[in-house]
Amino acid sequence: MDWKKNENKNHKFYIHTFGCQMNFHDSEKISGLLSENGFSEASDGEGADLVIFNTCSIREKAEQKFLSELGRIRKLKQQKPGLRIAVAGCVAQQMGKELLKKAPYIDYVIGPQNLHAIKDIVPVQDKKSVDMPLLSVAENPELASMELPAERKKRPGAWVSIMYGCDNFCTYCIVPHTRGREVCRPWESIRREVEALASDGFKEVTFLGQNVNSYLSGGLDFPGMLELADAIDGIERIRFVTSHPRDLSDGLIQAFGSLKKLCEHIHLPLQSGSDPILARMNRRYSLAGYREKIEKLRRQAPGISITTDIIAGFPGETDEDHEATMTALREIEYDGIFAFKYSPRPGTAASVFEKQVPDAVRARRLSDILALQNEITARKNMYLVGTVQEVLVEGTSEKDEKKLTGRTRSNKIVNFDPSPGLEKAKKIKMENLLPGRTVCLRIIRAGLHSLEGQLFTGNVAGLPPEDGISL
């Protein structure tokens, strides 16, 4: 039977995604591949014939979350024997065959370099595939030139992969072990996707890679690639994640000043403020070198928002090292951070380092870091009260349906109630506030995680005039 021609799409899948943006984007590709293959999406695991776990193994906690969810779906399978279970993502790659041995009720194991193998999963009536567990965890150097259909759920922003894998081998990190060696996607392939997104009404692209600054394809480097992307009509905003500080070049810093669409935000993981710890993490930069780059960025793009990742309690971290991180946070004043307790990962160099820090100490240092940063984030957000910001509307606010939500160019979430603006300035039409529109908002309140805005109807240099709406 040719399932691609199956029109009633009775076969349902449900994806449970853990981990980073790359994994969430991979899930969009899994949806795209399965939809082409005769499946449609269920709203939960209970309503599905095929449940896919797109897993993360960055920290033990992420793995545990997956295992407890897997246990729940296993019970469901006992009541519904036709249900099939696929494990994709980083745990699939890391454990491979072992996963099938430990949990024989899993039907498919598909690593992140082999998503295309999802095509081999056929709807449940085809007996052959039920008897044959699919295992696709081989290295796949072809990955960079594969164009997999992505079914995107969110608008007006879209994720676009520009490179896969990582060659950095930071000593704590499992990613190079699960995502394989670094490969870059050719520009022509990226361009086709971005142009298609623009003609489909997307307004923002976020280029994805574990270390986008080292992008190099056919002689084109990352700033060069951004310049070409900046020229694509229809796209209004460009972002990227993640940058390795060592590879942050002057060319990229200048791009923040010269490329109109490149948004003023950079996520630049510091990990630790102590040089000896950075050396043992194999990060290959010093705090002074890092700070010099931050100063250049702030000179080039005043007001640029800078966020980071911090690991608390890396092996051998002393109270002094921890204090160095606290001082760095106080001095750099990030707009936001993600901080984590160090988690030893199997197969990584640091997992067998001496002087592992006791869990209670790691936890205490993490809470010190978070408390300090909360003060800084709150203060930095307060500075924005009274300013006017360009906000790309994303949809209705999760907490309050009467409000709309969007992001500033600096990636801060702003919620706003459109009705007062609509009443005051009759020329503001509701359709101009739909997702994908850019509005000017005056910031009237600041919280830790979001800001509150009001439609701005005045004129301000450099921003769209008249009714606060750019048409």
Residues that bind ligand SF4 (CB under 6 A): 166, 168-170, 173, 175-176, 210-211, 244
CB closer to ligand SAH, 3 vs 353: 353
**Geometric angle at alpha carbon 325, from 308 and 340, rounded to 5°:** 55
Residue among 314, 312, 315 nearest 353 (CA):
315
User: What is the pattern of x (binds ligand F3S, CB under 6 A) and - over residues 173-202?
Assistant: -xx--xx-----------------------
Sequential DSSP letters for 174-210: -HHHHH-S-EE--HHHHHHHHHHHHHTT--EEEEE-T
Spacing of C-alpha 416 from chain mean position:
25
Q: Does 58 bind ligand F3S (CB under 6 A)?
A: yes
Shortest Å distance, C-beta 283 to ligand SAH: 9
CB closer to ligand SAH, 345 vs 409: 345
CA–CA gap between residue 67 and residue 30 (Å, rounded)? 20
Helix/strand/coil for 271? strand
CB closer to ligand SAH, 64 vs 419: 64
305 strand-pairing partners: 265
Shortest Å distance, C-beta 361 to ligand F3S: 24
Q: Which of ligand SF4, ligand F3S, ligand SAH, none interacts with 88 (beta carbon under 5 to 8 A by kind)?
A: none
Residues 65-104 that bind ligand F3S (CB under 6 A): 89-90
CA–CA gap between residue 113 and residue 175 (Å, rounded)? 12
CB closer to ligand F3S, 178 vs 271: 178
**Geometric angle at alpha carbon 157, from 151 and 159, rounded to 5°:** 60
CA–CA gap between residue 394 and residue 157 (Å, rounded)? 8
Q: Does 267 bind ligand F3S (CB under 6 A)?
A: no
Q: Which of ligand SAH, ligand F3S, ligand SF4, none interacts with 144 (beta carbon under 5 to 8 A by kind)?
A: none
Shortest Å distance, C-beta 55 to ligand F3S: 7
C-alpha distances out from residue 281 to 214, 276, 341, 342, 442, Å: 19, 9, 14, 11, 43
The site for ligand F3S, by CB under 6 A, has a size of 13
Residue among 117, 115, 114, 120 nearest 140 (CA):
114
Q: Which of ligand F3S, ligand SF4, ligand SAH, none interacts with 34 (beta carbon under 5 to 8 A by kind)?
A: none
Q: Give the length of the chain.
A: 471
Shortest Å distance, C-beta 240 to ligand SAH: 12
Shortest Å distance, C-beta 94 to ligand F3S: 8
Indicate which single residue of 33, 50, 52, 56 sits in contact with ligand F3S (rule: CB under 6 A).
56
Q: What does the binding site for ligand F3S look like in residue numbers (CB under 6 A)?
A: 19-20, 22-23, 56-58, 89-90, 174-175, 178-179
